[in-house]
Structure 1
Amino acid sequence: MDKVNHKSKRSRTYGQFCALARTLDIVGERWTLLIVRELLPGPMRYTELKSSLEGIATNLLAERLRSLEANGIVERRLADGSVAYALTPWGEGLREPMEALGRWGAPLLATGRGDDAFQPRWLTLALPALLRGATASPPIELGIETDGFAMVLRIDEEGPSAFARPDDLPETVLIAAPDVIVGLAAGAMSIEDAVVASEFRGDSNALRAAFAARR
């Protein structure tokens, strides 16, 4: 990793010789970590980021992206002839602390979604965070569909991971509302209740194994 001179990249700083303070110097401003969250599943174009981050002003998104690029967290890549934003290897390292923050904040979801915006791709970060510690051998793969988004939850000897793979889902697929999936992963809903509230196809043992693995 290249050494980052955070003072030269940002005009505002806590001015503290502390790793946490210097981290917050570059990712602590509003919307910054949410941009990182969007890019964890994979690169996105500017228009895709703007659409997914409902409420962010165009000029603010551009400013945050410039800052993330200047600090070596985000880079530009060509994708199908157009520019997309992607995390650098150093930026990818934010996955673990962001998963920890997601686990810490999981109780805040107990009041339900309400009128809050939601993007199904956010579950690719949330599910591994909520299922941390789960392992399986042989590996378990479960397809999950919610709000038109298809993803795969995989649990193996190294732990849980989730990724978009809409064209190659496993035989076992759970089709459910986002709050059902989050409730199931957080342990707030039983597997039996989740199945009743959802559409399910395939082997129920795979579903049980996936969400019982962390217990």
Structure 2
Amino acid sequence: MPPATDGVGSDQAGGQRRPLRADARRNRARILEAAFAAFAHEGLSVPVHEIARRAGVGTGTVSRHFPTKESLFAAVFVSRVEGLVDLARQLDTAADAGGAFSRFFAVLVAEGAANHGLAEALIGSGFDLKAAASGPERDVVGAMSGLLTRAQRAGAVRRDVDTDDVMALVAGCLARQADPDDPAGRGRLVDVVCTGLLRGPGMGWKPSSNA
């Protein structure tokens, strides 16, 4: 589903954000819809002028609403990113720290597999996710880091890995392309990674082909 629009402009007057005119709201909605589809299906390399063409507006119109590609990405994926961080916060209170870490790892891979643009942002492929989605409520990598640290302190996850290692493993799982003859291949790779990161058998990770 494309992101909802709030009808509020990016320009400011006296510190207050001004409501957009009806035609500007329609343009903004078309831009967001076109960007969502383009990023999801083709990744972040889609140029702004192509998004403008698909939205039926000029590149200047896109720039007035979204001065940078990062700001456009943030507008498109803000709810998805905030949802991931919210999930991490819920998992941070789980009794099974190893299982919480493994579940979040699996969810990140699943979300990235479903959306090419989000996958590229997660693995840092030519895009600054922190700049695009600033603030702790949108810091997916920071959320992963918190779950990793908690699991390591609980003795559930090996201590010789760091957040960069984990995000590289996320990237590796995302690189496992879906094969029509092996639809469970990516889920199996997630199982292998999470089982390898946990310190012992039966520590929180229950392999699932739905991961």
Q: TM-score range by the shorter chain?
A: 0.3 to 0.5
Question: What is the TM-score when the length of structure 1 is the normalising length?
Answer: 0.34
TM-score by length of 2: 0.35
- Larger % of helix: which? 2
Could you say which structure has the higher strand fraction? 1
Larger RCO (CA within 8 A; separation ≥ 6): 2
